[in-house]
Amino acid sequence: MERPTHTRMIKKKKFENSRIKNMRKTSDFAHEAFFKGPKL
């Protein structure tokens, strides 16, 4: 059987990874909007 603390750590890590991915997505989007916006 898995220890509850272990599964909790995995869930936390997955959550943090998805949060980092979302942050990266939004920052990429902001960069594109910033660079493309003034030119258009």
Write out pLDDT tens, residues 3-27: 667 788 888 888 888 888 887 888 8
Looking at residue 2, the DSSP 8-state letter turns out to be -
pLDDT of residue 20: 80
Q: Given a cut of 60, is residue 40 above it in pLDDT?
A: no
Coil, strand or helix at 21: helix
Q: Given a cut of 60, is residue 1 above it in pLDDT?
A: no
Distance between CA 21 and CA 27 in Å, rounded?
Answer: 10
Mean pLDDT of 20-39: 75
pLDDT of residue 37: 65
Coil, strand or helix at 1: coil
